[in-house]
Amino acid sequence: MTGWNKDLEKRILKKSRFTLAFRIIRILLVVLFIYAIYMIFVNIIADKMDVGKEAMYYSSLALEWTVPNVRGDFDIKEEEMTSFGTKRLSYNLLKKVGIKDLVIGEAEVTKRLSSHYSNITYSHPGLQQLSEFSFSLPEDPRTNRKLDANTSPHVWEPLEMLPEGTVGELAFSTDSFMESEKLIANLREFDIHILWMPLYTGEFVNFEPYGWSGSNNLIMVSDVIGLTGGIDHDENFHQTLRINRLDESSVKESKQLMLDNMEELLGKAESYYERFLGLGHLKEKYQYLQEEGFTVYGAVVTGPVKELLKLKEESFIQGEQLGEVELWNWEPTDQSEFMD
């Protein structure tokens, strides 16, 4: 009787283990199925809302406005969606020297459901920061008092020593505020491309900038935005237009595209453009540009080094800084070809 009970007990335990294992496997399969359906649903919603493309477009746009002559490549390198709805993507960072785009780093964008916890990080091996350029206000906007410029001592001599078969990148400030069209006209005779121009947008008068440095006779705003060749997108945030440089035939459209993009961003939550994109005082800057126009006080240009050297004789240029230098890659300026 005892032997029979032990044998029965073993069979019951074996059957129980099999039943339990089957139930666990079935539950796991159901959970995996639900998770798969959930992830499919999340990705469909994300694709429908173009979360990744939108985050890429606006993060690249903000980068281009705030960092002189640096922009994002519109080819996404990696893209993923987590189970919590977080979108992660990365793309290359580009700098133009001559007519060539150089890859100088990578942007990693993390867009969470809340913009408060979304962020953008930049990696740029070999560089302390994405751009070393700074621009000096020509006068104090509060008093109209003339200011000095922050000039690098090693600009014109290296340009004189460099061979003709090289191209370079040069930044400078101007000795007065001027309309964007005026600065473009002043540079018309030189075989160079204008890539970026710092904008005065009401700092110290309409609002206090988040960051600035200098002294009694020097002011450099750190959260400045700049005018670049305009970009546009379709309803799915695919890039439909990029203007490569600023000249007399492209500046008007570039300014309007900048205003259009700013207006779109202001339609979003403040946390999106301030915290996520780092565009402080965007509303005040947009209103100033609309009401007062585009006032600039410098530029980043690129071209043959001997052409850059000619700028030494221009009295309106101050605070010059030499950037990257590359082997020859240049074509004579053709005003009819300024768009991709």
Q: Where are the domains of the chain?
A: 132-327
Q: Which of 224, 238, 240 is nearest to 300 (CA)?
A: 224
Q: How far apart are CA 282 and CA 108, in angstroms?
A: 23
SS3 159: helix
- pLDDT tens across the length of the chain (340 residues): 455 566 766 676 666 777 777 788 888 877 777 666 655 555 555 455 567 889 999 999 999 999 999 999 988 887 777 766 688 999 999 999 999 999 999 999 998 877 888 999 999 988 888 898 999 999 999 999 999 998 888 899 999 999 999 999 999 999 999 999 999 999 999 999 999 999 999 999 999 998 888 778 999 999 999 999 999 999 989 899 999 999 999 999 999 999 999 999 999 999 999 999 999 999 999 999 999 999 999 999 999 999 999 999 999 999 999 999 999 999 877 544 444 4
Residue with tokens 């091996």: 125
| Contact in structure between 221 and 334 (CB atoms under 8 Å) | no
| Contact in structure between 320 and 171 (CB atoms under 8 Å) | yes
Q: How many residues does the chain have?
A: 340
Identify any residues that bridge with 95 across adjacent strands, giving them in sequence order: 102
Q: Which of 103, 131, 100 is nearest to 193 (CA)?
A: 100
Return the H-helix or E-strand segment holding 59: helix 51-66
Q: How far apart are CA 38 and CA 33, in angstroms?
A: 8
Q: How far apart are CA 33 and CA 23, in angstroms?
A: 15
